[in-house]
Chains A and B, each alone.
Chain A
Amino acid sequence: MHRIEREDAPEFTFEFEGEPLTAREGDTVAAALLANNHRSLRTTAVTGEPRGPFCMMGVCFECLVEIDGVANRQACMTEAQSGMKVRRQLGANDLGKGPSFDDDEGASS
Chain B
Amino acid sequence: MKDHYQIAIIGAGPAGMAAATIAAKHGASVLLLDEQPHAGGQIYRAVKRQSIKDRDVLGADYYVGRGLVTELDDSAVKHITGATVWQVSPEREIGISKDGVAWLVTADQVILATGAQERPFPIPGWTLPGVMNAGAAQVLLKSSGVASPDAVFVGTGPLLYLVAYQYMRAGIPIRAILDTTPKSNMLRALPHLPAALTNLGALLKGQRWIKQLHAKSMPFIKDVEDVRLIGEDAISKVEYRRAGQWQHIETTQVFLHQGVVPNVNLAMAAGCEHTWNDIQLCWRAETNAWGETNMPGIAIAGDGITIAGARAAEFRGRITGYGALVRCGLMNAAERDRQAQPFQSALNGELRMRPFLDAMFRPPRQFRIPEDDATIVCRCEEVTAGKIRESVTLGCLGPNQLKSFSRCGMGPCQGRFCGLTSLEIIAETRGVPVEAIEAMRLRAPVKPLMLSELASLSAEPELTD
Chain A interface residues (CB < 8 Å from chain B) = 1-7, 9, 24, 26-28, 31-32, 34-35, 39-41, 44, 46-47, 49-62, 64, 72, 76-77, 79
- 3 interchain residue pairs of minimum CB distance: A52-B129, A6-B145, A56-B136
- State whether the Cβ of B49 lies closer than 8 Å to any Cβ in chain A: yes
Q: When each residue 112-131 of chain B gets 1 if its CB lies under 8 Å from chain A and 0 otherwise, what string results?
A: 00000110000000011111
Q: Which residues from chain B contact A56 at a C-beta distance below 8 Å?
A: 132-133, 135-136, 139-140
When distances are taken between beta carbons in the complex, the residues of chain A under 8 Å from B129 are 39-41, 50-52
Residue of B nearest to A57 (CB): B42
| CB 8 Å contact bits of B168-199 with A (1 = contact, 0 = none) | 00111000000000000000000000000000
Q: Which of B88-96, B324-332, B346-354, B378-386 contacts A (4 or more CB under 8 A)?
A: B378-386
Q: From known contacts A54-B132, A55-B132, A57-B117, infer whether A35 and B127 are also in contact, taking CB-CB under 8 Å.
A: no
Binary interface encoding of chain B residues 11-53 relative to chain A, with 1 for a CB under 8 A from any of its CBs, else 0:
0000000000000000000000001110000100010011111
Q: Which residues of A contact B170 (CB under 8 A)?
A: 4
Which residues of chain B come closer than 8 Å to A46, judged between CB atoms? 381-382
Q: Do B51 and A55 touch across chains, with their CB atoms under 8 A apart?
A: no
Closest residue of A by beta carbon distance from B131? A54
Which residues of B sit under 8 angstroms from A34, Cβ to Cβ?
140, 146
From residue A94, how far is it (CB to closest CB) to chain B in Å?
17
**Which of A24, A49, A50, A56 is most buried by chain B, counting CB atoms within 10 A of its CB?**
A56
Q: Which of B273-281, B410-418, B425-433 contacts A (4 or more CB under 8 A)?
A: B410-418
* Least Cβ–Cβ distance between A97 and chain B, in angstroms: 16
CB-nearest residue of chain A to B412: A61
- CB < 8 Å neighbour of A5 from B37, B53, B118, B133: B53
- Assuming the A-B contacts A39-B130, A40-B129, are A55 and B140 also in contact, with contact meaning beta carbons closer than 8 angstroms in the complex? no
Query: A31 and B54: CB pair below 8 A?
Result: no
The listed residue (A31, A40, A41, A60) touching B143 by CB distance below 8 A is: A31
Q: How far is the CA of A54 from the CA of B143 in the complex (A)?
A: 16
Whole-angstrom distance between the alpha carbons of A2 and B52 in the complex?
13
Q: How far is the CA of A52 from the CA of B231 in the complex (A)?
A: 13
Q: A44–B51 contact, CB under 8 A?
A: no
- Point out which of B129, B132, B149 has the most chain A C-beta atoms below 10 A from its C-beta: B129
Smallest CB–CB gap between A15 and chain B, Å?
19
- Asked whether B117 lies within 8 Å of A4 as measured between CB atoms, the reply is no
Distance to closest chain B CB from A66 (angstroms): 13
